Structure 1
């Protein structure tokens, strides 16, 4: 990443510090102010990876912009054009041009599924209500609230 980011300048600033990428294990989000700079960043990352006998997966790599205009530039890895998407899952959360709505709906569905799977416990009269509440807080609420700090709430969500 150091080699790939050598000449790249971040466009997002948090606390006055420019952010060029987000990384967790082998997941990387590259940030650029326009398609040309993003194409250069992807090219540099691909080159730096190949210098270390590593390969960027063109099938798993996606492009997402926050521009209202459709993508004009074809960005390639290993000769393959990268797919442009309107949403994707990153570290278990849905990132979307629609904002947080798809992520919140997904969390509601996952929470409902968890509640349904625990129905025998909820209906069991031999289990104390305090135990049921602890299960609800630890197993169910954690599913719903995962990454909620990142949600952008609007009037319709």
Structure 2
């Protein structure tokens, strides 16, 4: 599966929420509705985020990569949330350093062996400030998909 195939228009969100809880509920509701995750996914991803925060700082961007065990996933996909206003997450590897997150990459990985590769690809996006800038300024789901495809073409060429 090529990396850009993990992204679906119906799972691109322009979120105007005030909390992680609201963002997680909106994103996982669509993941569940479209059959990508099981009913247990929301609780599992929320609990995992409390124990193992996924916030990251990259240049001027705050990002989060919430995910959980493959047993809560039906089909692999990445939901992408672009936040109107930042939401506070804890920095990965800490329980007290805060990060104002602008973009959420919510992973639903079915095959545990592919998780490392998917995380590496997401990390490459995070390290590409030009791509992050384009994502943050995007105004349509189609535009987001196009940006991801352009990034993938650049990385694989």
Larger Rg: 1
TM-score by length of 2: 0.27
From the two aligned structures, give the one with the greater helix fraction.
Answer: 2
* Structure with more strand by fraction: 2
- TM-score, with normalisation over the residues of structure 1? 0.27
Higher normalized contact order (CA 8 Å, seq sep 6+, divided by chain length): 2
